[in-house]
Structure 1
Amino acid sequence: MSTHQPTPTILLPELPAKTLVGIDLITFTSTANFHGIRDLSPGWHFLYTGTTESLSLRSGAWFYIGDISNAGKGNNDTALVTQSTKSPSTNDPRPEIYIWKWSAETETLVALGDNDSDRQESMRHKANLGPVWQSGGLFKYRSRIAPSMLVKSKPEQKDEDEETVPRPEIEARIQTEDDAQTEESGRRDWSGLTDRISPSLLSRVIGDPEVDVDGHPRWVLTSASTATRDADHIPGIDSPGGNEPGADVESEREFGFIPVDLKRTWREGAVGRERTEAAKDRSWALGYLLDRYAGEASGGNELLGELQFTFLMVLTMMNYSCLQQWKRLLELAFTSRRAILEREAFMSEVLRILALQLQRCDDVEGGLFEIDGDEGGAFLRHLLVKLRQAVDELVGDAESKVRLELDKLEEWVKEEYDWELRPGTLLRRGMLQLEDGEQVEMDWHGGDEEEETGEYAPMVVEM
């Protein structure tokens, strides 16, 4: 009788067939024989479900494989200096087994709780793990789709004089090597997309975690979760506070985002020139938030972690509020001129994270720019143009981590999106000939702020 050594696994008993299932940046539709996912890699994972692929409400949860005290500290050469933290860790040699049971009433996955019936059910599912594995009911974890799963090789015609070559074996070996490299690259990318997310950050943004029968925490949210500032409340119809009689007790949790106010970026009591400069260069506001939310680690991990969290929730859950916060964080960082010199490590890390996010933004159906609607990539392109101009003025040819990361990002967006970030290469005004031969003068409104025209034009007011 063959035996299997259990690996980190998440079991999903009673999950209906044809349910949309997502694990990190991979999505698929469940089958009747699907019972869970095995071989989970160490680190953060986000599992979510939906009754349909597009229009249904999505519900998901974050969980961690391995020692969670290591989460959020970064794992790359540009990692910021962090303080050591003490968190409960386990030396239990047994593999981590998560059990999330499907609830037909709420159409979500519910973790088994700390009660006698759930403990007995948990023991029963773990005892049957071997037969489920042998029956092929566990999906092997993948961080991205392998090439062999996308394209099936076609048999080639062989000339009569050509020597006989075992082509299927060669193709199988090539596919195996390509699949291994793709998987290794995917896991490395996923780690880079989540290496600033910490348990404290998730608890601040989402709320306290649920704890299952084995003491594993998970942070639950839905695609309808939102921050108060991004919610549309209609007076007389709904109540933001949820305190009205008959209000739903299980109402959506509100996100506890870092309060980024782009309309007020100066210190309390600032007047005159100081206030004007702080409105054009938001370095003071950025520094204030970095100091306020340094938390358990120095160097801005809370802001970097929130930048990662919001991006991933846009891709996987299509969450509108997370999209708005992601854009607010980028605009704050990329309009802080002094921070290019004074907070070089933080700014270079923002660029590194953004570059990796853009490389994976099309992994999920629709992609980032499609989700953003009509604005698409115009918002981000405008920010990068302004940052490029600021870096050229302040840094020049001097050695700088910010300039190095921006150069790499500029090269990638030029090749992928044909974006020009150098201000001198953009045509701000010109004549456009229409189909009927008429010529009209066109302006690029992206330059209004720098040239103080349009809505940014100065006004004379009576005091």
Structure 2
Amino acid sequence: MAASLSPSPTILVPHLPPKTLVGIDLITFTSTPNFHGIRDLPTGWHFLYTGTTESLSLRSGGWFYVGDIDETHQNAGAVVSTAREPRGPEIIIWRWDSNTETLVPLCAASDIDQQEAMRHKANLGATWQAGGLFGYRSRVPPSVISQRAAAAPEDQQVAAQNHGADEENEQEGRRDWEGLTDRLSPKLLSRVIGDPDVDVDGRPRWMVTSASTAPRDSDDIPGLPDPVQEPADSSKVTGEEESEFSFLPIDLKRTWREGAVGRERTEAAQDRSWALGDLLRQVSESTTGDDDGRRAEAQVLGELQFTFLMVLTLMNYSCLQQWKRLLELILTCQAAIKERELFVRDALRLLLLQLKRCGDVEGGLFDLDGEEGGDFVRKLLMKFRRSLYVVVDGAGSAVKNEFAQLEAWVRDEYDWELNREAVARRGMVQLEDGEQVELDINDDDEDDEMGEYAPVIVDLGENTPDSPLQHDDDDGLDDMRM
């Protein structure tokens, strides 16, 4: 039978309990008793995760790659060798551990695991024929959504149209996923997460949970153990030590070089291009071992991709904070708009794609951010637009062209007006009862140094006879006040 002779790349999840939340890339579903895995996996990065319930439960998952990871990422530097003897299509097996309620790969060091892997591979054809393998999908087909609300169409022409729409929707979803993961690499995942697990066939898997965190984002509550300092406690839940993220070091409160004073510090605080360049220099020295700026930029963009997807799939809090820090650093640069034009263009292109998919997270990505919601991104984009039109004159800029697409999309989707000059800041508003009141929009006071952000005069204390501010003549006092 064709299924047993030439199976497609497949991931098997034997013994998975029914009604378990399962997610693969950008799609989620609830497992059925007959669900045993996913077939037809396309080449590239994938993230498979599970949760005991659809919400309010710990989620855990793993990153893995379909295809030859060495050839695809030879420039990025693979951390594990996947070079092996030629074999058939990839059959990845992660079995369910009922003690930890997580999926774990079969281990090459265990004879029992090796025998189990051989048994599952030998029975793959029968499992496929019995309908136990679901075909890979990048998103829910539109026809399925419409059939949930109404009866399935009987007309063949309508069915054919739905099939065409499904195929177009699927291809768009795969392009989106590729755009969201094309900067990931084994080196980046190992830097951020740690060394991967290796299965019976030598394939690496990088494990992440919704509780994984970076030290700077963990809460230090007196009397309670620190989850980062004492990871052994979390192993009781996940079955292994909790991941401690090693994110890129971003300090938005200090964006100038050491020893800078006066105007240099002020300008570096307003234009964070120096901080971005310094971060890229550190990345080049620590990860690439050379001065290849494009590779360092790929690491930053890759971390922007990783953190966003971990929020989207696992609702990981620490990744949300790092995603915001990366965005704030990039979008508050001015000189870098010209000096690192391709990097800024790629960052804007990635942000637009992420915003298009942020509704995939349960409740919406912006709702995870407390009361601020999307105001954080909107205000950043408004500031960036002002810098962009100051730095870049005329048309022909790759950054300006990319930003124009982003600006048009957020205006249509969220009704965000990023041009500050197009919005009246003060005016009279008539209430329902006919009374007119003056309305003042002060959400940009920080930029204009108004309101609570206005400069203040600080009293350094009373003048004494010995004080250098004490003068005998009024002219001297007038000079000091000027």
TM-score by length of 2: 0.86
Alignment correspondent of 1:397: 394
Structure 2: runs of 5+ lacking an equivalent: 462-482
**Root mean square deviation, CA, Å:** 2.4
Query: Using the alignment, how far apart are the partners of 1:362 and 1:52 within structure 2?
Result: 20
Alignment correspondent of 1:185: 172
Identity %: 61
Structure 1: runs of 5+ lacking an equivalent: 74-82, 157-166
Alignment correspondent of 1:101: 95
Q: Is the 8 A contact 1:242 1:248 kept in 2?
A: no
Alignment correspondent of 1:276: 266
Query: Using the alignment, how far apart are the partners of 2:60 and 2:105 within structure 1?
Result: 13
Q: 1:431 to 1:208 in 2, by over 3 A?
A: farther
Query: Using the alignment, how far apart are the partners of 2:362 and 2:247 within structure 1?
Result: 26
**Match of 2:38, SS?**
strand
Q: Is the 8 A contact 2:12 2:92 kept in 1?
A: yes
Q: 1:422 to 1:337 in 2, by over 3 A?
A: same
Q: Is the 8 A contact 2:235 2:242 kept in 1?
A: no
Query: Using the alignment, how far apart are the partners of 1:245 and 1:94 within structure 2?
Result: 39
Alignment correspondent of 2:469: none
Q: 1:112 to 1:385 in 2, by over 3 A?
A: same
1:112 is matched with which residue: 96, 106, 113?
106
Alignment correspondent of 1:318: 315
Q: 1:245 to 1:203 in 2, by over 3 A?
A: closer
Instruction: Establish whether residue 195 from structure 1 lines up as the match of residue 192 from structure 2.
Output: no
Give a deviation string over 1:404-452, Cα, whole Å, max 9, x none.
0000111111111111111111233344555566655444343122211
Q: Which has the higher contact order (CA 8 A, sep 6+)?
A: 1
Whichever of the two has the greater Rg, that structure is 2
Q: Is the 8 A contact 1:428 1:447 kept in 2?
A: no
Give matches, 1:67-86, under 5 Å: 67-69=68-70
**Match of 1:28, SS?**
strand
Query: Using the alignment, how far apart are the partners of 1:418 and 1:102 within structure 2?
Result: 45
Query: Using the alignment, how far apart are the partners of 1:85 and 1:70 within structure 2?
Result: 10
Displacement of 1:349 in angstroms is 0.3
Q: Is the 8 A contact 1:22 1:49 kept in 2?
A: yes
Displacement of 1:403 in angstroms is 0.1
2:199 is matched with which residue: 212, 235, 245?
212
What is the identity, as a one-letter code, of the residue corresponding to 1:21?
Answer: V
* Farther-moved stretch of structure 1 (250-259 vs 344-353): 250-259
**Match of 1:63, SS?**
strand
- Equivalenced residue count is 444
Q: 1:220 to 1:84 in 2, by over 3 A?
A: closer
Q: Is the 8 A contact 2:78 2:187 kept in 1?
A: no
Alignment correspondent of 2:50: 49
Query: Using the alignment, how far apart are the partners of 2:232 and 2:128 within structure 1?
Result: 49
Displacement of 1:155 in angstroms is 8.2
Give a deviation string over 1:249-301, Cα, whole Å, max 9, x none.
84522211111111000011111110111011101001111121133363201
Alignment correspondent of 2:257: 267
* Farther-moved stretch of structure 1 (342-351 vs 87-96): 87-96
Give matches, 1:427-442, under 5 Å: 427-432=424-429, 441-442=438-439
Q: 1:6 to 1:277 in 2, by over 3 A?
A: same
Query: Using the alignment, how far apart are the partners of 1:347 and 1:247 within structure 2?
Result: 38
Q: Is the 8 A contact 1:44 1:64 kept in 2?
A: yes
Q: 1:35 to 1:410 in 2, by over 3 A?
A: same
2:244 is matched with which residue: 254, 278, 281?
254
Query: Using the alignment, how far apart are the partners of 2:280 and 2:399 within structure 1?
Result: 18
Alignment correspondent of 1:132: 127
The structure with more helix, counted as a fraction of residues: 2
Query: Using the alignment, how far apart are the partners of 1:196 and 1:372 within structure 2?
Result: 25
